[in-house]
Amino acid sequence: MDLDTRPTLTGAAVTLRPATADDVPALAAIRATPEVYARWRGREDLAAEVAEDLADDSTPTLAVEYRGRVVGAVQWHAEEEPDYRHAGIDIYLDPAVHGRGLGTDAVRTLARYLTRELGHHRLVIDPAADNAAAIACYRKAGFRPVGVMRRYERGADGSWHDGLLMDLLADELG
C-alpha cells in the first residue's frame, strides 16, 4: 500500500498515522526496551529491522502517537483470498505508557478502519499465551479467544511457546 494512501486515524486518545523513516529511531528505542524486546525480539540492529518493517507494503505500519509523541506502532496484514479474507493486527507500545488504555484505543481504532473502510468481516490477533496484559487489552477491544496455538513461536531462549489466537467479527465491534 502506497504511503500516500495509508490513512491517519484518530482514536479517543491516540492518533495512528503512517510511520516514516523519521520514526525509526523512536520505534527502535521502544523495541529495545526489555518488556517489548521480550515479545518482539529481533536482530541486533533494531533500527534496520524497523526500517525494513516500514518498507514492507504487505504489512502497513502506523505510528501510534499520544500527546504528540510516538509511543509505539501498530501493523496489519490482510489475507485477500476471497474465501478466507480477513485481516490481522500486531502492536507494540512503549512500556512507559502501558496501563493507560492506549493499546486498546489503538487496536479498536485500527479495527474500525479495517472493518468499516476496508470491508474485512473478521480480524485476528495472536499474543503469546502467557502475555496476560496483551490478552486483557485485546479483550477490552472486543477480541475473543479462539484457541491456543501450541508451540507457535520461538522465544528468546530458543524454546517454542504457545500463542493465543483471538478474533473479532465486524458486527461485534463497538
Distance CA 173, CA 60 (A): 21
The pLDDT tens digits for 28-61 are: 999 999 999 988 877 788 999 999 999 998 999 9
Which is nearest to 30 in space by CA: 69, 56, 60, 4?
69
Which domains occur in the chain, in start order?
3-123 (3.40.630.30)
Q: What is the mean pLDDT of residues 92-101?
A: 96
The pLDDT tens digits for 119-158 are: 999 999 999 999 999 999 999 999 999 999 999 998 878 8
pLDDT higher than 90, residue 1: no
Q: What is the pLDDT of residue 3?
A: 44
pLDDT higher than 80, residue 100: yes
Q: What is the pLDDT of residue 38?
A: 87
Percent of the chain past pLDDT 90, that is, above it, reads 84
pLDDT higher than 90, residue 88: yes
Residue 99 CA to chain centroid, in angstroms? 16
pTM of the model: 0.93
Distance CA 146, CA 99 (A): 24
pLDDT higher than 60, residue 103: yes
Instruction: Give the 3-state secondary structure of the chain.
Output: CCHHHCCCEECCCCEEEECCHHHHHHHHHHHHCHHHHHHCCCCCCHHHHHHHHHHCCCCCEEEEEECCEEEEEEEEEEECCCCCCEEEEEEEECHHHCCCCHHHHHHHHHHHHHHHHCCCCEEEECCECCCHHHHHHHHHHCCEEEEEEEEEEECCCCCEEEEEEEEEEHHHCC
The residue to which cell 502492536 is assigned: 91
Q: What is the pLDDT of residue 5?
A: 57
Average pLDDT, whole number, for the chain?
93
The pLDDT tens digits for 12-22 are: 999 999 999 99
Distance CA 168, CA 170 (A): 6
